[in-house]
Amino acid sequence: MNAPLPTPPTEALSFLDPFGFGRAAFDYWRDAVERSVLYMDVMRERGNQYLEHIEKTKPNVLGFDAEVVMDGRELPRPVNYELMQILPPTGVEVDLQARPFVVIDPRAGHGPGIGGFKPDSEIGVALRAGHPCYFIGFLPYPEPGQTVEDVVEAEIAFLRRVVELHPESCEKPMVVGNCQAGWQIMMAASLEPEVFGPILIAGAPLSYWAGERGKAPMRYTGGMTGGSWMTTLASDLGDGLFDGALLVQNFERLNPANTWWDKQYRLYANVDTEAERYLNFERWWGGHVVLGGEEIQYIVDNLFVGNRLSTAQLVTSDGRRIDLRNVRSPVVVFCSQGDDITPPPQALGWVRDLYGDTDDIIASEQTIVYCVHDSTGHLGIFVSSSVSRKEHAEFTANIDYIDVLPPGLYETTVTSAKERDDAELLERDYLLEFKARSIEGLSRDVLHHREDDDRRFATVARLSEINLGLYRLFVQPWIRAVITPEAARLMRRLHPIRLGYKLLSDRNPLSVPLPVLAEWVREDRHPVAEDNLLRTMERAVSEQISRGLDTWRDIRDQSIEHTFLTVYGQPLLQAMVGLGGDGHVHRRQPGSEPEHRRFIERRQDELRQRVAEGGIHEAVMRSVIYVLGGAPTTDERNFKRLRASRAELEPASSLSDFKHLVREQFFILKLDREAALGAIPQLLMGERAETIRASLEHIEHVLAASGELSEHARKRYEHIQALFGEALERVDPAERRRALADLHEEVAIGARAEVAARSEVEGLFQAEPEAGQPDRASRSAGAKASARKVRKPTSKSQADSPSDTKSETTRKPRKR
């Protein structure tokens, strides 16, 4: 009954339509009608999915099974957050002794789960690496009276619970905060630093005044609305609740081409293959949540408009100052140049706000690592599969290395093994490298700071306080008097974003024929060829529409920026709000305050007294840091060798002791390098000659991890060899002779091995003269069998030795 109509022979169609225009038009028209039906059916499914999702008690989009470990509603100060343990999927094994991972999702209008949305996600990467994983999510509605401080305290309680659940792990949990959750965990870590391991903040804004002109128009929003009074109005209209759909609407306005055309056209043009991906994403994007009015007001006043977090001006209700310099865990900042919600200046501006230079970072014992992606958007930072497989996988694999990096500011880059000459030395497909940076270089390359912009934003902050006070005095009483809970719920339901989902669902009687029509189309689908003339024209028209919307967006953003700079740059307005006196913005600069400078001086005095304290472990670590400090970059290979050498030298030492040793020796070298190096022979005093020689071997082993040393690093290593040789001179002569005799025997064995290896290689050349050189496997075997080359003696004791064997304490590192 539903059999397709007979199609005329091709020869007949060619005779009737010799140029093929009619056939192309008919094929395109048929395909367009079918795509329209399928598109509307996907919209219907989206509406059904939305209604099913929001009607759940605890909706989330996690792609992994999880069980609740701790409910925030049961805390002394209840919140709508909960701690969930991720259950490993089949085939994935978790090491309970490994460092736990805790992922926190943003509560910025959408529901939870995006951090574990896909198998290739932040949680998926950590699970495959064998780490126990936890997720901190939230419910759609806040608890009565819930505040931002309550949420921060709840997150601290959750982390304490994670630590209790893993007593066998010697590592503190790594915490990943996405977007809005990033600044929350930074607040928590500044209040209770002892419960945090390394912190990764992905796309998290911490410095809201920062930005580059011509980009990041969201930072002007507060000024264009006259401050935070409109936030209070929205909360009053919601009967004390702020609708998260308003935040989502702001995000969508940033890119009208994608919101109003590209996203929908992509589905329409590829409806046969795009439907599943579209519906999965819309399940999260349409899961709007509600914030408490007091919460959102705190956020807008103190962060978006006031910028008080990055300048250490926030104080809790019980009198504790929230100062990000109190964070003792390494902080990894992941941002992107393609992010228009949290551009790199807003993600990294707090570093410049809090510290005058890198010496301030070092004195505060902070390790800050940043990675700037070239192009991915805001959601791609923590959602994109390609980003998770590359950047997040490398962050996870190198987290122990990041945890022991000496204090300072570092830029990290991820390079492919295929792009490197030393690919055979790498264990994975990518390598994470770290390069020391300065705040001046960061400001020049990333932050693009302008002092006059600070003055304008300070004017907005003052004006916001004035307008908010006027609103609360004259308008707020009237709004609260007429708004009822039922009226607030009705306004939330009638929000245009929500209506777009509800109207296209099975609850709309007009959508009843859609599933029947869609099934009929799928049974006899006629997709048009990609080279069809009209399909090509369709794509061209779509591109023109998208470009037109982008042009309109650029004009709009330029107009907003010009208006903001003009209005808030007026000296009269600045003077009216109290900023027109001395011509300077009265903005707190914590890094230049006298109290902070006195702290740095005390810290330096303490370290000067400890330059000559310690033993052979301090000498080895000091030597390695000195040699590697001359290199432009460092990577995980040095860390693995260093940690292995540490385990050999002192098996009973813990990783925390190792971290403390690295940081302390780095401080000492940074403070007075000459005195620190000059004290190495004194640190080795009392050690046996064999122990000193073995320690030098460990140093060489570490330095050889990343291949051949640079000329500068080699000279530094020769200096270390001389210092160890000086220490050998102080050893008892009889013991030194025994050590040199052992060394003579070892070198002789090595020489015999070298002769054997040379003979083997020569035999290979004789066997295959036409090849020109042995194969890679033969070369590798010959290289491993070859003995080490030794250098001439550098110390007096070696030169005067009756043995003609040259001391191994002075040889260069092996080349890999």
Q: Does 636 score more than 70 pLDDT?
A: no
Residue 505: pLDDT band with limits 50, 70, 90:
very high
In a domain, 360, yes or no: yes
Per mean pLDDT, which range of 201-215, 487-501, 635-649 is the poorest? 635-649
Q: 636-649 and 616-628 are packed helices; what angle lies between their axes, rounded to 10 degrees?
A: 170
CATH of the domain at 442: 3.40.50.1820
Handedness of CA 312, 313, 316, 318 (dihedral sign): positive
Q: Does 18 score more than 60 pLDDT?
A: no
In a domain, 51, yes or no: no
Residue 741: pLDDT band with limits 50, 70, 90:
low
The pLDDT tens digits of the residues spanning 644-688 come to 555 555 666 666 677 778 778 887 887 788 888 988 988 888 888
Burial letters 767-776, b for 16+ CB under 10 A, else e: eeeeeeebee
Residue 799: pLDDT band with limits 50, 70, 90:
very low
In a domain, 666, yes or no: yes
Q: Does 783 score more than 50 pLDDT?
A: no
Contact in structure between 574 and 459 (CB atoms under 8 Å): yes
Residue 809: pLDDT band with limits 50, 70, 90:
very low
CB atoms within 10 A of CB 48: 17
The residues, any chain, with a CB within 8 Å of residue 500's CB and separated by 6 or more, are: none
Predicted confidence at residue 553, as pLDDT, reads 96
Length of the chain: 816
Predicted confidence at residue 17, as pLDDT, reads 57
Last residue of a domain, one of 449, 480, 506: 449
Q: Which amino acid is at 665?
A: Q
In a domain, 667, yes or no: yes
Contact in structure between 373 and 392 (CB atoms under 8 Å): no
CB atoms within 10 A of CB 483: 16
Among residues 806, 657, 675, the alpha carbon closest in space to that of 746 is found at 806
- Cα angle 442, 448, 453 (rounded to 5 degrees) comes to 135
Per mean pLDDT, which range of 155-164, 320-329, 377-386, 541-550 is the poorest? 377-386
Q: Which two tokens stand for residue 122?
A: 């932040």
Rounded CA gap, 424 and 432, in Å? 15
What's the whole-number average pLDDT of the chain? 82
More confident of the two residues 652 and 442: 442
Predicted confidence at residue 725, as pLDDT, reads 86
Last residue of a domain, one of 428, 449, 470: 449
Residue 734: pLDDT band with limits 50, 70, 90:
low
Rounded CA gap, 231 and 590, in Å? 29
Residue 477: pLDDT band with limits 50, 70, 90:
very high
In a domain, 301, yes or no: no
Percentage, residues of the chain above pLDDT 70: 79
Last residue of a domain, one of 449, 482, 510: 449
Q: Does 113 score more than 60 pLDDT?
A: yes
Edge-to-edge order in the sheet of strand 66-71: 66-71, 81-86, 133-138, 101-104, 174-178, 199-202, 331-336, 367-373, 408-416, 430-436, 634-635
Percentage, residues of the chain above pLDDT 90: 48
In a domain, 429, yes or no: yes
Q: Which amino acid is at 565?
A: L
Q: What is the mean pLDDT of residues 209-213?
A: 90
Beta strand pairing call for 174-178 and 199-202: parallel
Q: Which two tokens stand for residue 675?
A: 């005195």
Segment holding 67, helix H or strand E: strand 66-71
In a domain, 184, yes or no: yes
Predicted confidence at residue 85, as pLDDT, reads 96
Residue 466: pLDDT band with limits 50, 70, 90:
very high
Contact in structure between 384 and 346 (CB atoms under 8 Å): no
**Domain enclosing residue 382, as ranges:** 66-209+307-449
- Cα angle 447, 452, 456 (rounded to 5 degrees) comes to 105
Contact in structure between 724 and 698 (CB atoms under 8 Å): no
Q: Does 761 score more than 60 pLDDT?
A: no
Phi, psi of 613 (to 5 degrees): -90, 140
Tally of domains within the chain: 2
The pLDDT tens digits of the residues spanning 593-626 come to 666 667 777 777 777 777 888 888 888 888 888 8
Residue 755: pLDDT band with limits 50, 70, 90:
very low
Handedness of CA 103, 106, 111, 117 (dihedral sign): negative
Predicted confidence at residue 645, as pLDDT, reads 56
Q: Please tell me whether residue 677 adopts helix, strand or coil conformation.
A: helix
Q: Which amino acid is at 813?
A: P
In a domain, 793, yes or no: no
Tokens 């419960």 sit on residue? 195
Rounded CA gap, 428 and 406, in Å? 24
Handedness of CA 748, 750, 751, 755 (dihedral sign): positive
Q: Does 789 score more than 60 pLDDT?
A: no
Contact in structure between 251 and 259 (CB atoms under 8 Å): no
The pLDDT tens digits of the residues spanning 123-146 come to 998 999 899 999 999 999 999 999
- Cα angle 322, 294, 378 (rounded to 5 degrees) comes to 70
Q: What is the mean pLDDT of residues 718-744?
A: 72
Rounded CA gap, 201 and 487, in Å? 38
Tell me the sheet residues that pair with 243: 290
Q: What is the mean pLDDT of residues 561-572?
A: 94
Per mean pLDDT, which range of 370-379, 702-711, 784-793 is the poorest? 784-793
Q: Does 746 score more than 90 pLDDT?
A: no
Q: 733-767 and 689-703 are packed helices; what angle lies between their axes, rounded to 10 degrees?
A: 40
Q: Does 786 score more than 50 pLDDT?
A: no
Per mean pLDDT, which range of 312-316, 471-475, 733-737 is the poorest? 733-737
